[in-house]
């Protein structure tokens, strides 16, 4: 299926109005036979067929405005033609007023910041391309070439998935974070070889973050770029990144500095179950002062996790692994926990972030007996 597009009509003209079709869908046509008459600001132009073939579809009706490069006719097979073979015949002169090159009609649809004309939209629908996902190669107007490029990619790679629900919210939040935060990341690791085998890693991390926030309050804060201003927060409410098939959820464990690890575990389990059943109230995912991503449960050692405004910091915990170190004058393999800390450098200094990470390491490096 090939498309014939409105050719360059010369004299700086960029668009024309369809006056009359001389063919119908299903017609067989020969090269140079009359296809359509269009009216420009200067004349009525008769557009001939660029090739032999069967007409599969006509784009636009009399009175519709079509821009140069937009589809007019779809042929059943053969080579695509972007230009006219034969002579464009002007049947009568019209106004000599100049067009505004590249104008877009008021009926055009908006796709985010981009615009698409009705004819190009019809072409996209015929090719089963979701025009709402199209992005112009340049400028803000989606062209027929953009549609054809998307159709070719779709043939090779399959249909694009429109993000909805949780995944759409996640994408927008990550874009907002990328646009608004000035991130810096620090990396370290802590020896946890002496931890009990049944230690609840996530809850130990939660308790450690609470201790680190007490030692260095600058990371437990909200930042307002408009001021700019920051608000140091007394209570620690930790957002816990939870990976689900539907997307990323971040429920909030509240007041972690004054709760036992057992109580925190019960609270997180209850929120996970509510997420699984899609019954968690929106309020339970709001108000975090700092976030934990325990991505190491799935894989990976270090990362640059994304800070979610207005928060200032996020802690990432990687996969526990063994490495050979010198311990008590001997070489031995010991378990280590990789740590990543990303912080907004507008709200916190490098020294404050380093002190926070040191406090977290000190807490995590203690034996359980020292914590009791």
Q: Encode pLDDT of 193-243 as tens digits.
A: 999 888 899 999 999 999 999 999 999 999 999 889 999 999 999 999 998
- Whether residue 355 lies inside any domain: the answer is yes
227 and 109 share a domain? no
- Whether residue 236 lies inside any domain: the answer is yes
Distance CA 202, CA 193 (A): 16
- Whether residue 17 lies inside any domain: the answer is yes
Distance CA 20, CA 363 (A): 80
62 and 17 share a domain? yes
State the residue for tokens 């914590």. 371
State the residue for tokens 């609270």. 267
- 280-311 pLDDT tens trace: 898 999 999 999 999 999 999 999 999 999 99
Distance CA 224, CA 92 (A): 64
125 and 16 share a domain? yes
289 and 343 share a domain? yes
Examine the fold and report which residue of 107, 128, 157 is the final residue of a domain before the chain moves on. 157
127 and 178 share a domain? no
Write down the pTM of the prediction: 0.64
User: What is the domain extent for residue 127?
Assistant: 2-157
* 202 touches 238 (CB < 8 A): no
Report the alpha-carbon angle 34-124-33, nearest 5. Answer: 10
Report the alpha-carbon angle 221-320-214, nearest 5. Answer: 25
Mean pLDDT computed over every residue of the chain: 85
- Whether residue 65 lies inside any domain: the answer is yes
Q: Give residue 165's pLDDT.
A: 80
For residue 157, which phi and psi values (nearest 5 degrees)?
-110, -15
**pLDDT exceeds cutoff 70 at 85:** no
Q: Give residue 89's pLDDT.
A: 47
Q: Give residue 301's pLDDT.
A: 94
Q: Give residue 363's pLDDT.
A: 95
128 and 182 share a domain? no
243 and 349 share a domain? yes
- Whether residue 162 lies inside any domain: the answer is no
Q: How confident is the model at residue 91 (pLDDT cuts 50, 70, 90)?
A: very low
Examine the fold and report which residue of 123, 157, 191 is the final residue of a domain before the chain moves on. 157
104 and 135 share a domain? yes
- Range with the lowest mean pLDDT among 110-119, 172-181, 190-199? 110-119
Domain count, the chain: 2
251 and 316 share a domain? yes
The CATH number of the domain where 76 resides is what? 2.40.50.100
- 164-173 pLDDT tens trace: 788 888 888 8
Examine the fold and report which residue of 100, 132, 157 is the final residue of a domain before the chain moves on. 157
The CATH number of the domain where 363 resides is what? 3.30.559.10
- 327-338 pLDDT tens trace: 888 999 999 999
93 and 198 share a domain? no
- Whether residue 122 lies inside any domain: the answer is yes
- Whether residue 273 lies inside any domain: the answer is yes
87 and 184 share a domain? no
Q: Give residue 94's pLDDT.
A: 38
- Whether residue 9 lies inside any domain: the answer is yes
Q: What is the mean pLDDT of residues 45-65?
A: 89
- Range with the lowest mean pLDDT among 8-12, 69-73, 136-140, 228-232? 8-12
Those residues whose C-beta lies under 8 Å from the C-beta of residue 338, and which sit 6 or more positions away, are 187, 188, 189, 296, 301, 302, 317, 318, 319, 321
188 and 150 share a domain? no
Q: Give residue 370's pLDDT.
A: 52
Extract the tokens encoding 13: 């003209």
């Amino acid at each position: 299926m090939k498309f014939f597009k409105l050719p360059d009509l010369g004299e700086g003209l960029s668009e024309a109005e369809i006056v009359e079709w001389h063919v119908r869908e299903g017609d067989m046509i020969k090269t140079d036979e009359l296809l359509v008459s269009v009216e420009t600001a200067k004349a009525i132009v008769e557009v001939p067929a660029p090739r032999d073939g069967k007409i599969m579809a006509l784009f636009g009706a009399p009175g519709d405005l079509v821009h140069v490069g937009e589809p007019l006719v779809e042929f059943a097979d053969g080579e695509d033609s972007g230009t006219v073979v034969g002579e464009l015949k002007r049947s009568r002169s019209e106004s000599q007023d100049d067009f505004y090159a590249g104008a877009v009609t008021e009926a055009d649809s908006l796709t985010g910041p981009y615009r698409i004309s009705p004819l190009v939209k019809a072409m996209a629908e015929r090719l089963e391309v979701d025009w709402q996902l199209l992005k112009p190669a340049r400028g803000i107007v989606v062209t027929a070439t953009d549609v054809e490029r998307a159709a070719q990619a779709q043939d090779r790679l399959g249909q694009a998935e429109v993000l909805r629900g949780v995944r759409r919210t996640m994408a927008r939040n990550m874009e907002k974070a990328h646009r608004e935060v000035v991130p810096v990341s620090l990396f370290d690791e802590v020896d946890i070889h002496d931890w009990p085998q049944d230690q609840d890693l996530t809850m130990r991390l939660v308790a450690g973050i609470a201790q680190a926030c007490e030692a260095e309050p600058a990371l437990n804060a909200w930042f307002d770029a408009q001021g700019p201003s920051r608000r140091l927060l007394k209570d620690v409410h930790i957002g816990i990144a939870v990976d689900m098939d539907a997307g990323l959820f971040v429920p909030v464990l509240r007041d972690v500095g004054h709760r036992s690890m057992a109580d925190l575990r019960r609270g997180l389990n209850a929120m996970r179950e509510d997420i699984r059943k899609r019954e968690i109230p929106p309020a339970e995912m709001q108000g975090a002062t700092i976030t934990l991503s325990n991505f190491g449960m799935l894989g990976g050692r270090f990362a640059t996790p994304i800070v979610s405004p207005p928060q200032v910091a996020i802690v990432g915990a990687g996969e526990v692994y063994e490495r050979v170190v010198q311990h008590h004058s001997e070489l031995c393999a010991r378990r280590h926990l990789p740590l990543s800390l990303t912080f907004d450098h507008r709200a916190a200094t490098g020294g404050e972030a380093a002190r926070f990470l040191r406090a977290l390491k000190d807490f995590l490096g203690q034996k359980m007996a020292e914590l009791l």
